[in-house]
Chain A
Amino acid sequence: MGNDILPVVWFALIGLAIMMYIILDGFSLGIGILFPFVKEGKYRDIMMNTAAPVWDGNQTWMILGGAGLYGAFPLAYATILPAMYLPLILMLLALIFRGIAFEFRFKSNRSRKWFDFAFSGGAIVATFAQGVVLGGIIGGFQVENRQYAGNTFDWFSIFGLFTGIALLVGYALLGAAWLVVKTEGNLQKRFYRIVRPLTLLLILAMLIISIWTPLSNDRIADRWFNFPNIIGLSIVPILVVVLTLSIIRSIAKRHEKLIFIQVVGLFLLGLIGLVISFFPVLIPPDITIWDASSHRSSQIFLLVGYSILLPIVLAYTAYSYWIFRGKVREGEGYH
């Protein structure tokens, strides 16, 4: 069982979906997180318009990841979801709120401030809940007889609250970097100003998580700090430092698009760090991708559909963003 390649392929596919989701919905949620700091109605319109044509497609990746998990790793789907029940339900409800607010905000005048509130509140709650879920999964939970065996509030931990806040910072950074790309003038200046502090805060959060996890999990400590692993793996933190410095440089040089790409790079490194810490464990502490796999024929059957669809969705996504390239100006965009 342990040498079957199919589960690895599925792990990579679902990882790709999650990564796409974090980057794409991350910046749209980030816009909502930054909403409280921008009071002017006309600026808020612009901010919304920088995501309006693409945000709904971004959520595609969350469903693609979730449904893929159900079909390819039913054990993971059937244990992570009940273990993280309350934060996940909260996230779903918040995402619904955020989505509907997004659509109807443009179709309203008098009630617009309510939709602003729902949009921003939905984004903040959804992001925090996602961070809590992330922390909960990293912390691991009890599984017996292939079912979740913990309690209602096992997902709750100081670490989870911390990852929740860290994700708020992270998405706010993605949002700010995106807005730097898509806006200009005074509004853009504001986002330029907050990219650096947000980057430094995120780096601090990543540092704390990188110290916290090996301290609380011997296996992770062993994987990172054991010789010779440490030589190869030390490239990850080195790259993080290099990227941080280049983000600061790009801000000074006003390389707007490069900043966003570098921020995405930071997120990628974070994900790579998690994979290094856990692979091939899918459900911490010890259930591997091979333990959690569905039947071989299920994974093959599903792979056929994914192989056809994934390139289409990727191409469509790229095409949408290309059409939407350039700055969003006041009074332009969706009515």
Chain B
Amino acid sequence: MLGFDALDLARFQFAFTVSFHIIFPAFSIGLASFLMATEALWLKTGNEIYHNIYRFWVRIFAVVFGLGVVSGVVMAYEFGTNWSGFAERAGDITGVLLTYEVLTAFFLEAGFLGIMLFGEKKVGRRLHFIATCMVAVGTLISATWILMSNSFMQTPSGYEVVGGRFEPANWLHIMFNPSFPYRLVHMVLAAFISVGFAVAGGGAYHLLRNREDPAARRMFSMAMWIIVVALPIQIIAGDAHGLNTLEHQPAKVAAMEGHWENGPSEEGMPLVLFGLPDKENERNRFEVAIPHASSVILTHTWDGQIQGLSDWPQEEWPDVALVFWSFRIMVGLGFLMLAIGLVSLFLRWKKTLYNQAWFHRIALIASPAGFIALLAGWVTTEGGRQPWVVYGLMRTDDAVSPLHASSVSASLIGFIVVYAIIFGIGTYYFLKLIKHEPTENMPAGGAGEDRQPKRPFSAADDSLEEQHKGA
């Protein structure tokens, strides 16, 4: 298709399906914790506003969780269909970690999601709160398994290569490999921030319609607190993660920074703010750079040296422009989001947080910002890992399935068409739920009933169409 070979197409297909998928689990992780906090505040203060906010977002949580399950089914098979070389050689390790993620998700659905979504009238408040906490913790555990698997691919440890296959030698070293803790913290914070902006957007939408709406005010305020607290921590965590990457994957950092060559030893490395990476000539065109700044950030010294890409043969370089730009999108959005947080602090101090329609409009526009930054971050780390699937040990072109390009084209087109339809409907429905007044009763249901946790969609009963309310 269009001159791409099976490898390019398989990579694009994976990027497409996993990018679609990751939004929903990230949303679930952040929203579950947000719901936990909201319910805790409700129980502690007895203020019904928190209860209303909980009921408003729990429906959206159900739909998001459902879309995550649907898109996740594809992921469970894609390693085998499209990456059989990887699945066969690394399945002893990654297959186990992936399966544990699946087990965790099912455990949640069977156990606590049902109580959380449908059990409010059946169990006491305390037990319901415990269920919410378990779901929140469960989403984090799910993320842990997947990030262990991904981190193993980035910074493998605890393995033995036997006959070309990765066999487990020490499970603790496999699971707690060098980049895992950094990636976990960075990802979980990213999920919190993304949901902070999504909730802020929902609150802003309702504030723009009715500035006095107490639930809208409270959720907007909570979301802004999340943003104000989580963003500075995220910047520090991101910096630490960058240093970890510099230690274990220096070529990735060279691409992120746009460093082609090692600098003269006494000058230190400049921080490239803007430039057009030119792989042919191994330089950045139209470069705008701050001298020494990269050394300061990455080595925390004035003249510290960082390896440039020329230290590696070209066939071990990632796609420099892709990594360079996705990294800048992530960081740029990060600082924009921080700015929004700081403005909210100022407005709060001036006691006009709920009265500034321009700020609510900005929050509404910024509501997908966290997710875009999260995706850009994943493009940076996954694109920067190339050309390796298991860093330094197994190349991506050895990992791909022995398929003909026409097969992969066919499946790619199928995925694009089906996802466009399915998630188009899903997003439309999601937006309908957001437009709802944030005060409604909780649905009731349970295992074996019409509304039940194995089909989270049943928690929301809005009609898909305008005017024609439920059948």
Contacts and interface: CB of A to CB of B under 8 A. Distances in A.
Contacts of B471: 45, 106, 108-109, 112, 335
Nearest to A306: B103
A152 B403 CA distance: 7
A297 B93 CA distance: 10
A103 interface: yes
A327 B283 CA distance: 73
Given A70-B87, A86-B407, A302 B99 contact: yes
Contacts of A64: 102, 106
Contact of B77 (A71, A88, A306, A324): A88
Interface in B98-148: 98-100, 102-103, 106-107, 109-111
Interface string A303-333: 0011011001100100111111000000001
B463 A146 contact: no
Interface in B440-455: 446-452, 454-455
B411 A100 contact: no
B278 interface: no
B465 interface: yes
Given A54-B448, A147-B88, A152 B455 contact: no
B454 A57 contact: yes
Contact of A309 (B66, B107, B460): B107
Interface in A33-55: 45, 49, 52-55
Interface in A83-131: 85-86, 88-90, 92-93, 95-97, 99-100, 102-104, 106-112
Contacts of B72: 63
A153 B194 CA distance: 44
Interface stretch (A72-80, A193-201, A236-244, A262-270): A72-80
Contact of B76 (A52, A63, A102, A149): A63
Contacts of A75: 88, 91
A66 interface: yes
B232 interface: no
B70 A78 contact: no
Interface stretch (B286-294, B323-331, B379-387, B414-422): B414-422
A57 B76 CA distance: 16
Given A68-B99, A306-B103, A313-B110, A78 B455 contact: no
B431 to A, nearest CB: 14
B79 interface: yes
Interface string B62-75: 00001001101110
Nearest to A81: B80
A64 B106 CA distance: 9
B77 A92 contact: yes
B247 interface: no
B401 A85 contact: yes
B103 A309 contact: yes
A60 interface: yes
Given A147-B84, A305-B103, A323 B96 contact: no
Contacts of A320: 447-448, 452, 454
Contacts of A110: 465, 468
B95 to A, nearest CB: 4
A81 B83 CA distance: 10
Given A93-B418, A295-B167, A66 B77 contact: yes
B461 interface: yes
Chain A at the B interface: SS class: helix
A2 B404 CA distance: 35
Given A53-B448, A54-B448, A93 B414 contact: yes
B15 interface: no
A312 B402 contact: no
Contacts of B470: 107, 335
Contacts of A102: 455
Contacts of B93: 298
A66 B76 contact: yes
B447 A323 contact: yes
A294 B448 contact: no
A210 interface: no
Main secondary structure of the interface of B (DSSP, over half): helix
In which size bucket is the chain B interface? 35 or more
B98 A70 contact: yes
Contacts of B88: 74-75, 77-79, 146-147
B346 interface: no
A147 B107 contact: no
B202 interface: no
Interface in B371-410: 401-404, 406-407, 410
A187 to B, nearest CB: 18
A307 to B, nearest CB: 11
A71 B91 contact: yes
B95 A298 contact: yes
Contacts of A62: 73
Contact of A298 (B74, B96, B418): B96
A321 B83 CA distance: 38
A334 B458 contact: yes
B370 interface: no
B357 to A, nearest CB: 33
A69 B84 CA distance: 13
Nearest to A63: B76
A85 B102 contact: no
B443 to A, nearest CB: 11
Contact of A74 (B70, B92, B426): B92
In this complex, which of B401, B415, B446 has the most chain A Cβ atoms within 10 angstroms of its Cβ? B401
A118 to B, nearest CB: 9
Given A294-B96, A320-B452, A152 B102 contact: no
A82 B404 CA distance: 10
B43 interface: no
A225 interface: no
A56 interface: yes
Q: Which of B93, B98, B449, B471 has the most CB of A within 10 A?
A: B471
B461 A109 contact: no
Given A93-B418, A148-B401, 20 more contacts: A53-B452, A56-B69, A57-B109, A66-B77, A67-B99, A71-B91, A74-B95, A79-B88, A81-B401, A100-B425, A108-B464, A109-B468, A152-B404, A295-B167, A297-B168, A301-B168, A306-B103, A323-B447, A323-B448, A334-B451
Q: What 8 A-B pairs come out closest when comparing CB atoms? A: A74-B91, A323-B448, A81-B80, A78-B88, A71-B95, A334-B450, A70-B95, A320-B448
24 contacts: A52-B450, A54-B454, A56-B454, A57-B454, A60-B106, A67-B99, A70-B79, A70-B87, A70-B91, A70-B99, A71-B99, A77-B88, A78-B80, A78-B88, A78-B401, A85-B401, A97-B418, A100-B426, A107-B461, A107-B463, A294-B91, A298-B95, A320-B447, A335-B471
